């Protein structure tokens, strides 16, 4: 149960100016420059973070490399490493509300979601990977009997994790959990729009006993800290979640520098398909509304394209609109809010621009699409439902990353598949039907990393998360994520 009174006490606390986390210590930046953190809740100045420099970044990378080379973490007995990671998860749980409120003040996600998807998910992810530490075996190859082929699984070295602003703790844990479990060192760069809760989570790792230098956190701008990491000759792997434009720069920097491996979790334009034979249309409408509008649409897998079979289009859009109208949009620290603030002013402006262009191109603004609660000083927007969207319209092709839903009608299965796959992205999708065979056929036909059937959303650490096409490569979550952080080494022995 969320306790509004406790949340209100926490929200009024002054937030101290943040430092960097390098080599086990909280340190000031080398230039003395800071960035103002503006809270999307009311546009007020929350605190400052360090504008990390190239030197700060290199210091963090050097600390990570030294920790890796001397083996203070990777050669620690598995049982001891596991204990530290479990303790870390326990500390996150113990401070969950504080972490959630701090994160919400920084990035605007509604507290009901932040507590579950941020702290809850971060702790359970760290625990999941802690459990792999003493369960991951090497292999013996089925060679001819005069040889023995041993396959060792080894940590790679220094991992740079670059994180976006929408779910910093959850996405941070998706990288830190497997990277640390197998013995790597990490330099983490949070988004400048959501650094505070990750910095605290890093401090908790130290408190839990993670040795100095194994986890370093450098805040600051992507074009400085992110560029320094991607161009570094001492970073072995980049694991990134964010936009395609930044992903492209990372690949270029890798090619220019040491050809470090780059794993990219990028954006999406996910199709949520509703067939006329859906058993419970009102529930489908409710879940579909949440699937695009929770966290103000700032969810990579958001079902931002709704494809509806002609015969139920009007009925379904009416139900969806009703479900949307019943959402509480506003102060993200109010426990009853179901969709909080847009993360920053620029993002709000871009969202509104998408609505304008969609109409200019022939879409119908069926509901919402306007800035609201201006008097608060924060960044809020009424969810937008745009109908009559054609497949060439910008709103059907570009990722908005905001509460904007593009609705298109289809005649039959073939057209639904064509529309769904008519995108450069391939992150997620959904479909609603009571026909089991159709569901399986559609799952096969949709070119995406995940297809939700008769539901939308619902993350679980046991299943992989990753995109195809321009939504990226590699997987977060599940045991498959470990592959990104492991080198295979063969010992080829003549007996």
Contact (Cβ atoms closer than 8 angstroms) between residue 124 and residue 92: no
* CA–CA gap between residue 224 and residue 26 (Å, rounded): 20
* CA–CA gap between residue 149 and residue 152 (Å, rounded): 10
To which H or E segment does residue 428 belong? strand 428-432
- Does the protein bind ligand NAD through residue 441 (CB under 6 A)? no
DSSP, res 339: B
Q: Is residue 315 flagged as an active site residue?
A: no
Question: Minimum Å distance from CB 225 to ligand NAD?
Answer: 7
Q: Which of 162, 180, 210, 287 binds ligand NAD (CB under 6 A)?
A: 162
The residues pairing with 451 across neighbouring beta strands, listed in sequence order, are 429
- Does the protein bind ligand NAD through residue 237 (CB under 6 A)? no
Q: Can you say whether the dihedral through the CA atoms of 98, 190, 465, 237 is positive or negative?
A: negative
Question: Minimum Å distance from CB 243 to ligand NAD?
Answer: 3
Q: Which of 35, 111, 163, 180 binds ligand NAD (CB under 6 A)?
A: 163
Q: Is residue 119 flagged as an active site residue?
A: no
The position carrying tokens 């959904």 is 430
- The interface region with ligand NAD, picked from 14-22, 151-159, 161-169, 325-333 by CB under 6 A, is 161-169
* CA–CA gap between residue 13 and residue 81 (Å, rounded): 34
Residues 6+ apart with CB under 8 A from 173: 121, 122, 123, 125, 126, 201
Question: Minimum Å distance from CB 49 to ligand NAD?
Answer: 11
* CA–CA gap between residue 146 and residue 116 (Å, rounded): 54
- Does the protein bind ligand NAD through residue 294 (CB under 6 A)? no
- Does the protein bind ligand NAD through residue 265 (CB under 6 A)? yes
| Nearest to 477, CA basis, from 454, 449, 445, 439 | 449
Q: Which of 54, 86, 153, 249 binds ligand NAD (CB under 6 A)?
A: 249
Residue with smaller CB distance to ligand NAD, 153 or 447? 447
Q: Which of 241, 319, 344, 470 binds ligand NAD (CB under 6 A)?
A: 241
- The interface region with ligand NAD, picked from 51-59, 66-74, 156-164, 389-397 by CB under 6 A, is 156-164
| Nearest to 303, CA basis, from 163, 451, 117 | 451
Question: What is the per-residue binding string for ligand NAD in 169-208, x denoting contact by CB under 6 A?
Answer: --x-----------------x-xx----------------
Would you give the distance in Å from CA 297 to the centre of its chain?
13
* CA–CA gap between residue 148 and residue 143 (Å, rounded): 7
- Does the protein bind ligand NAD through residue 246 (CB under 6 A)? yes
Binding residues among 345-404 for ligand NAD as defined by CB under 6 A? 399, 401
- The interface region with ligand NAD, picked from 84-92, 132-140, 262-270, 482-490 by CB under 6 A, is 262-270
Q: Which of 126, 333, 358, 427 binds ligand NAD (CB under 6 A)?
A: 427
Contact (Cβ atoms closer than 8 angstroms) between residue 342 and residue 298: yes
| Nearest to 133, CA basis, from 67, 70, 88 | 88
Binding residues among 5-24 for ligand NAD as defined by CB under 6 A? none
Residues at the site binding ligand NAD, with contacts judged by CB under 6 A: 162-166, 171, 189, 191-192, 222-223, 226-227, 230, 241-243, 246, 249-250, 265-268, 300, 399, 401, 427, 465, 467, 472
Q: Mind telling me the catalytic residues?
A: 265, 300
């Amino acid at each position: 149960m969320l306790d509004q009174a406790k949340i209100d006490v926490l929200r009024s606390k002054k937030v101290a100016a943040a430092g960097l986390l390098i080599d086990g210590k909280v340190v000031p930046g080398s230039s003395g420059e800071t960035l103002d953190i503006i809270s999307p809740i009311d546009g007020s100045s929350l605190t400052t973070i360090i504008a990390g420099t190239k030197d700060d970044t290199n210091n963090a990378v050097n600390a990570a490399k030294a920790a890796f080379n001397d083996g203070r973490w990777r050669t620690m007995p598995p049982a001891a490493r596991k204990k530290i990671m479990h303790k870390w998860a326990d500390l996150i749980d113990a401070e969950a509300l504080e972490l959630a409120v701090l994160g919400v003040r920084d990035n605007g996600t509604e507290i009901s979601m932040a507590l579950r998807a941020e702290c809850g998910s971060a702790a359970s992810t760290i625990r999941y990977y802690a459990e792999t530490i003493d369960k991951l075996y090497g292999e013996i190859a089925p060679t001819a009997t005069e040889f023995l082929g041993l396959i060792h699984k080894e940590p790679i070295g220094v991992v740079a994790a670059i994180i976006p602003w929408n779910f910093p703790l959850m996405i941070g844990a998706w990288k830190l959990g497997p990277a640390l479990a197998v013995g790597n060192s990490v330099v983490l760069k949070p988004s400048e729009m959501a650094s505070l809760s990750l910095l605290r989570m890093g401090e908790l790792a130290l408190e839990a006993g993670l040795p100095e230098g194994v986890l370093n956190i450098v805040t600051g701008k992507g074009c400085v800290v992110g560029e320094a990491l991607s161009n570094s000759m001492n970073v072995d792997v980049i694991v990134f979640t964010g936009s395609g434009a930044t992903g492209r720069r990372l690949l270029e920097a890798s090619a220019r520098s040491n050809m470090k491996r780059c794993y990219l979790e990028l954006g999406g334009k996910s199709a949520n398909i509703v067939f006329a034979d859906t058993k419970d249309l009102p529930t489908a409408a409710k879940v579909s509304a949440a699937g695009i509008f929770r966290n103000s649409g700032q969810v990579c897998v958001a079902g931002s394209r709704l494809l509806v079979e002609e015969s139920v289009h009007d009925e379904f859009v009416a139900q969806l609109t009703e479900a949307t109208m019943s959402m509480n949009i506003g102060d993200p620290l109010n426990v009853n809010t179901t969709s909080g603030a847009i993360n920053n002013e620029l993002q709000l402006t871009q969202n509104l621009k998408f609505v304008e262009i969609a109409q200019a191109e022939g879409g119908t603004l069926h509901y919402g699409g306007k800035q609201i609660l201006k008097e608060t000083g924060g960044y809020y927007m009424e969810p937008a439902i745009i109908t009559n969207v054609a497949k060439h319209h910008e709103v059907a092709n570009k990722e908005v990353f905001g509460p904007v839903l593009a609705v298109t009608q289809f005649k039959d299965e073939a057209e639904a598949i064509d529309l769904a796959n008519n995108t450069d992205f391939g992150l997620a999708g959904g479909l609603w039907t009571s026909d089991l065979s159709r569901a399986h056929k559609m799952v096969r036909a949709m070119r995406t990393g995940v297809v939700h059937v008769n539901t939308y959303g619902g993350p679980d650490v046991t299943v992989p998360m990753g995109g195809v096409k321009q939504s990226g490569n590699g997987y977060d979550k599940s045991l498959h994520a470990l592959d990104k952080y492991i080198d295979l080494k063969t010992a080829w022995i003549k007996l």
